[in-house]
Amino acid sequence: MSADDHDLSDLERAVRDQLAAWGLLGTAEGAATMDIVHRLAHTEDLRPAAAAMLHAQLRTQLVDLRKLAPPADEKDGVSDLQNAYIGLRAVQ
């Protein structure tokens, strides 16, 4: 954890980590999303209507970014067995 991590809210940290996992943190869309999150986390005078609007924008951004994210690598016992079986068939 870097020194900057201590200045981040839980929401900022969670969104940043998700964008990094998707490989989208360094994109313009990722930066715009982090800007929304920063405004939500560090604006003490934010009116409820403005906060609601920012939350709606954040949700929309994350839904759109999830579509750009690479597919999750599914790891379970069945896929492991299938991969092992495919490997064994190649050896025959």
Amino acid at 7: D
Please state the domain extents for the chain. 3-91
pLDDT, average across residues 39-55: 89
How many CB atoms within 10 Å of residue 37? 23
* pTM of the model as a whole: 0.69
Work out the percent of the chain whose per-residue pLDDT is above 90.
54
Cα–Cα distance, 86 to 55 (Å, whole number)? 46
